[in-house]
Structure 1
Amino acid sequence: MRSKEKKNVLNDLKEKTNNCLKSRKNANDIIDIISYFQDDDEGTVLQCIRSVHKLFTHFIDVEELSLKNVVEESGEGKYRVWLRERYKDAVDGLTECLIHSSTDIQEMSLSVLMKLVVKESKCPIEMSDDSPTTFPAKLFKRIMETLLSDTVNNTALLGRFEEYLAYDDVRYYTLRNVFSACRNTHAQETLQGNLYTVLENISLPPKGQDNTLSNFLCSIGDAEKDIRTLQRHRHLYSSAWIHFLKMKLSATLYRKVLVILPDKVMSNMTSPLSLCDFLSQAFNVGGVISLLASNGLFILITKYNLHYPDFYKKLYSLFEPSIFHVKYKARFFHLCDLFLSSTHLPAHLVAAFAKRLARISLSAPPAGLLVAVPFIYNMIIRHPACKKLIHRPDSDMSFDTDPYDPEEEDPEKCGAMNSCLWELKSLQYHYHPDVFKIAKKMDVGIPDMEIDLAEKFDLTANDLFEKEVQKKQKTVAVTFEPPKGLLGGKDDKLNMFWTL
């Protein structure tokens, strides 16, 4: 569209909007205004959204959309019925704009729709005598149905919607709509992603807070008790998550859910133990999935008295050479440090983990060893009974005579307590100087205080390389006569018979 034509269209939209506000005689111009939702020009659509907002907020304010105390067959009644139909068309246009290709159009449409929600709550147009609810649940449901699309990924727009979730009434009705959508256990991946984004963005007030809520975006009637009750919010939140977890989630979404469950979701649920089945199944999958599920399961065991006797047996099976190469290496060691921190664990169990980690360290890269070896030292420091693993002067043990059975799946039966950490002695001959130094501590005696591993969890090969490069370089003499070419000095035989 040419600049002049575009300017004329925008002026025409503004003029028609003002005319509709001045007199009912120009009401048919509303149809022309709404038709611009289909325009290809972004600026025109944005102006159309502004015009619709200006028109219908005015009509709601002056109660021209309400049929209360009006006979529908009368002239006034017919006009209001017609105007309500145009309002429906406008809402349809705005909701379609929520999935527009333009981000600006999406965000403005969402903003206008939420402003209309606020307006309707103050001047209800759908309120009936048998329903004391003033929150415009019907309009809000239209918005949520579009945001929770099963064909369009609305992650970005839902991030913009997050600011409204701080209001108790919006959060309540969002949870109701999310719960309804989550009951579709065969939902496609796109819908699952949209549902996850909403659930991830929802935060509930702390449990210690007063059970009565009052931070509302809309005008809420005294009779709407569920919106004001924190316990009701928690119940909806829990139900939505439980139904969401029953879906067949994609691998990526599965991992994302396992990451946020322990810290963000559990504390907000009415009964965190309801996550037991989901976390137990994930813990039995193996690999990265088991690692991510372990934190949530450990919290259920320690804080909510879940009986899970095979937890450490399964954790023991996760100690494989691949842990030094996976994306979640730092998380793995951080969580294992947490799981094995209790001084009430039996010494033979801790010895099994120390021995297992020492054995797989024989094939680990330097960055992994700089975590694994101090990790083993920390386990021994916490459990002094395990010190015999590094000091057996009466034993001449070798690889063939080691009583430790690496094939045994049960850490309590692997015989680690009768073994020793000869693997650490082997690492004293490692080519990397930092590994040599940390392994050499075994001979002089490990410290009494635990080693801080926080900075080592994220250590990578690139970090080690950068550390070596940044060291102060010293000039070292390698020849008495400076070379004059690639093939050596002037008397070098190569120079006599070869040229470059």
Structure 2
Amino acid sequence: MAPVRRKKATETASEPEKLTIERVKELHNQIRESPKYFNNIAILIDEYKALLKEFGTDTNEDLNILTRFVSLTLLKVFDHIITTKQLKLTSFENEQKETVRKWLKSKYDDFKLCLVETWKIDIDNEGVYALKMDNLDSLMKFVKIESKHFSSNKDEPFFSNRTYKLVLQHLLITGNLSQMLAHDATIDNFLILEFRESYFNKYWDLRYFFFSELRSILETELDPDTQQLIVSNVITVIKPQPLYDLKNPELTMYVDNPPKTVSNMRQFRSTFEKCILKLINLKLLPEQYKAFLLILHKRIIPFFNNPTKLMDFLTDSYNLGFNVKDISLSILSLNGLWELMRQYNLEYPDFYTKLYAILTPELLHLSYRSRFFRLLDIFMSSTHISSAIVASFIKRLGRLCLTAPPSGIVCVIPFVYNLLKRHPTCMLLIHCTERETADQFDDKERDPAKTNALESSAWELEAVIHHYHPNVGSLAKIFTQPFNKYSYNMEDFLDWSYSKLVDNELNKRFKGELAVELESWDSLLGEEGYLKEYVY
């Protein structure tokens, strides 16, 4: 590898200093040989800082290799110094040894800061990515080494929170909000993904202290952009899998002898609870708001000591959906509210009134439509709901079908059929012939128990039978037949889209020949070579 040339401030342009891998090895060997060469540590750190500055103007392969080599060499240097107890304060040390120890400690802290500073280099280069990954691994190795050798007494449980917090402080502000994925507010950030897969997901003690240090980080003064970046990075970390198996938690540790408190699940849940409440009360982006609502019932609520503390957030989210005219927020908040009602006996007044309010024309156009109908199927599964309320839902859903896309109507028809099977008293909506000419259903009434739906008829469903799309019309004819079929499996209908309906029609197999208005011919051209005349 060609040497990398740089000039010190005291050197002239004709006397450049050469730094090579062989020179780095020489400095390292001298450090291991005797403490009298400890000043080589300062030389290596200065060289490392200078190399990092060159990344802004030059990112050739030789520079990448040399920079990574210097970084890994310093890792070995401090690993040796820590394991030989040269950074640890001991009794009866003379003044000279204490001075050396303090100097080594300052250089060690300086090097760790250099490592995290590399994460700020904004260059799209494989060598830069490799350096950043190396430095994450180096810092995590320091956490492990310190936890083993920095305890006050031998074999005393210890975890290096100080270095781990340094890692998290800088790691959680890496990436860019422009990289945020709109559908789940996670960030395509390779450093965060590496930390999640190689450390957070594998080791319980790192998960435990992640939230205790996060809480401390969130209590510092941060500008809104930084807060939002931290939020997306945290969502990226916790979204893929539960924090632990609720039935049989496996606590694999990263450090050899962590503090006993890491086994205290109640303490962990308390810390996690405080962190999440702090995060959701920040000024969130709309995508982040939805992301929390999406993962709330599986990734957050089960790990709270007191999940009812989320009540205000969920009710505010429901109301916000109507205030900002984004009903998907209301749908997602109901998911969490139902979980609190079902698992934790939360009393939520006027639940069905609020559920009924979500049945607006935009509902059947949303990407969250299938999620809503899965929830609605659960909410309406009770046979103890009054017929008046069920009839109101049937009428409102039928009314929505008049302006809905075909894929939305395909969800509604089997859902209404199942409702009628479950609540036979509502069959009046399609079978009673003694009705007044005017529709008695009050579409403006907010309370589903007071809409007079049972005094009306489901004429909207009959109108759907004549829908322009043949699949929709055929499906709606189920209401004209005897109700002796089994209830529909809703999962067969929830994920239909308009393109799927078209593809289904195009791929349909027909028996026999298709009826056409033209006379059929064996070939397009006649024997004379000209087009045959079509005869009507």
> Is the pair's TM-score, using the shorter chain for normalization, greater than 0.5?
yes
**Structure-2 separation of matches of 1:150 and 1:105:** 14
Q: What is aligned with 1:420?
A: 457
Equivalents in 2 of 1:216, 1:257: separation in Å? 28
- In the alignment, which residue of structure 1 is the partner of 2:35? 24
* Partners of 2:67 and 2:112 in 1: CA distance: 14
Partner of 2:111: 90
Structure 1 counterpart of 2:277: 242
Counterpart-to-counterpart distance in 2, 1:377 and 1:270: 41
Paired residue type of 2:161: A
In structure 2, the CA distance between the partners of 1:186 and 1:448, relative to structure 1 (3 Å rule), is farther
2:42 and 2:107 in contact (8 A); partners too: yes
The one of 51, 68, 71 aligned to 2:90: 68
- List aligned pairs for 1:347-496, cutoff 5 A: 347-395=387-435, 398=437, 401-472=438-509, 478-479=518-519
> How high is the sequence identity, in percent, across the aligned residues?
29
The answer on whether the counterparts of 1:98 and 1:107 sit within 8 Å (CA) in structure 2 is: no
**Contact residue 20 and residue 66 of structure 2 kept, 8 A:** yes
Show the 5 A alignment for 1:109-120.
109-120=135-146
Q: What residue is the counterpart of 1:136 in the other structure? A: 160
> CA 1:247 to 1:186, structure 2 compared with 1: closer, same or farther past 3 Å?
farther
- Structure 1 segments unaligned to the other structure (5+ residues): 493-500
Name the amino acid aligned to 2:173. Answer: S
Matched, 1:231 2:271: no
Structure 1 residue corresponding to 2:290, chosen from 255, 262, 275: 255
Taking a change above 3 Å as real, the CA distance of residues 17 and 407 of structure 1, as seen in their structure-2 partners, is same
Contact 1:357 1:372 (8 Å CA) reproduced: yes
Paired position in structure 1 for 2:58:
none
Instruction: Provide Cα deviations, 1:179-225, integer angstroms capped at 9, x if missing partner.
Output: 12333586432233234334546843344458xx853211336xx34
Deviation at 1:233, TM superposition (A): 0.7
1:380 & 1:183 partners in 2: Cα distance? 54
- Asked if 2 retains the 8 angstrom alpha-carbon contact of 1:36 and 1:44, the reply is no
Aligned to 1:182: 218
**C-alpha separation in 2, matches of 1:11 and 1:97:** 24
Equivalent pair of 1:375/1:453 in contact (CA under 8 Å): yes
Q: Which amino acid aligns with 2:107?
A: R
Extract unaligned runs of 5+ from structure 2: 5-17, 56-62, 123-127, 178-186
What is the match of residue 132 of structure 2? Answer: 106
- Choose the corresponding residue for 1:308, options 335, 348, 356: 348
With over 3 angstroms needed to count, the CA separation of the structure-2 counterparts of 1:435 and 1:480, relative to structure 1, is closer
Q: Distance in 1 between matches of 2:276 and 2:492?
A: 35
Distance 1:471 1:38, change over 3 A: farther
Q: Is the Cα–Cα contact under 8 Å of residues 353 and 447 in structure 2 kept in the other structure? A: yes
Q: 1:161 aligns to what?
A: 195
Q: CA deviation at 1:118?
A: 0.7
Corresponding residue of 2:244: 205
Change (3 A) 1:160 1:490: closer
2:148 maps to 1:122: yes
> SS at 2:291's partner residue?
helix
For 1:200 and 1:89, locate their aligned partners in 2 and report how far apart those are by CA, in whole Å.
34
Paired residues for 1:195-344 under 5 Å: 195-200=234-239, 203-209=242-248, 215-220=252-257, 224-285=259-320, 286=322, 287-344=327-384
AA matched with 2:162: K
Alignment partners' CA distance in 1, 2:398 and 2:74: 69
Q: Deviations over 1:280-299 (max 9, x none)?
A: 11011221110110110111
What SS does the aligned partner of 2:491 have?
Answer: coil
Q: 1:202 to 1:389 in 2, by over 3 A?
A: closer
Distance 1:317 1:146 in 2: 44
1:242 CA drift (Å): 1.3
The alpha-carbon deviation at position 237 of structure 1 amounts to 0.7
- What is the one-letter code of the residue matched to 2:310? L
Work out which of the residue numbers 166, 169, 173 in structure 2 matches 1:149. 173
SS at match of 1:454: helix
Please give the alpha-carbon distance, in whole angstroms, between the structure 2 residues aligned to 1:297 and 1:186. Answer: 31
Give the root-mean-square deviation of aligned CA atoms: 2.7
Query: CA offsets per residue over residues 232-266 of structure 1, 9 Å max, x none?
Result: 11111111111212112111100000000012110
Over 3 Å counting, the alpha-carbon distance change for 1:49 and 1:308 in structure 2 is: same
**Structure 1 residue 274: Cα displacement:** 0.6
Alignment match, 1:498: none
AA aligned opposite 1:435? V
Distance in structure 2 (CA, Å) of the matches to 1:156 and 1:65: 33
Asked if the contact 2:388–2:450 (Cα under 8 Å) also holds between the matched residues in 1, the reply is: no
Equivalent in the alignment of 2:2: 4
CA gap of 1:342–1:257, structure 2 versus 1, over 3 A, is same
CA deviation string 1:276-329 (max 9, x = no partner): 000011011221110110110111122212221222111111112211212212
One-letter amino acid of the structure 1 residue matched with residue 146 of structure 2 = E
Tell me the equivalent position of 1:496. Answer: none
Letter in 2 for 1:90: F
Is the 1:330–1:457 Cα contact (8 Å) retained in structure 2? yes
2:308 is aligned with what amino acid? L
Q: Which residue in 2 is equivalent to 1:36?
A: 48
Q: Tell me the alpha carbon deviations over residues 426-462 of structure 1, each in whole angstroms, 9 at most, x when there is no partner.
A: 1121222211211111111234422012132111111
1:47-62 equivalences in 2 (<5 Å): 47-62=69-84
Match of 2:9 in 1: none
SS class of match (2:110): helix
Query: What is the letter of the counterpart of residue 446 of structure 1?
Result: F
Which digits, 9 at most, give the CA deviation of each residue in 1:55-89, with x for residues without a partner?
Answer: 11111111111221353522x33322222222112
Residue 38 to residue 199, structure 1, CA distance change in 2 (3 Å): farther
What amino acid sits opposite 1:112 in the alignment?
A: S
Q: Identify which range, 466-475 or 251-260, moves more after superposition.
A: 466-475
Counterparts of 1:118 and 1:392 in 2: how far apart (Å)?
Answer: 75
User: What's the offset of the Cα at 1:176?
Assistant: 0.9
More deviation in 293-302 or 266-275?
293-302
CA apart distance, 1:115: 0.7
Amino acid at match of 1:117: V
Hey, what's the Cα distance between the residues in 1 that align with 2:532 and 2:237? 76
CA offsets per residue over residues 406-445 of structure 1, 9 Å max, x none? 1111111111112121111111212222112111111112
Q: TM-score, normalised by structure 2?
A: 0.82
Alpha-carbon contact 1:37-1:45 (below 8 Å) kept: no
- Matched with 1:173 is 209
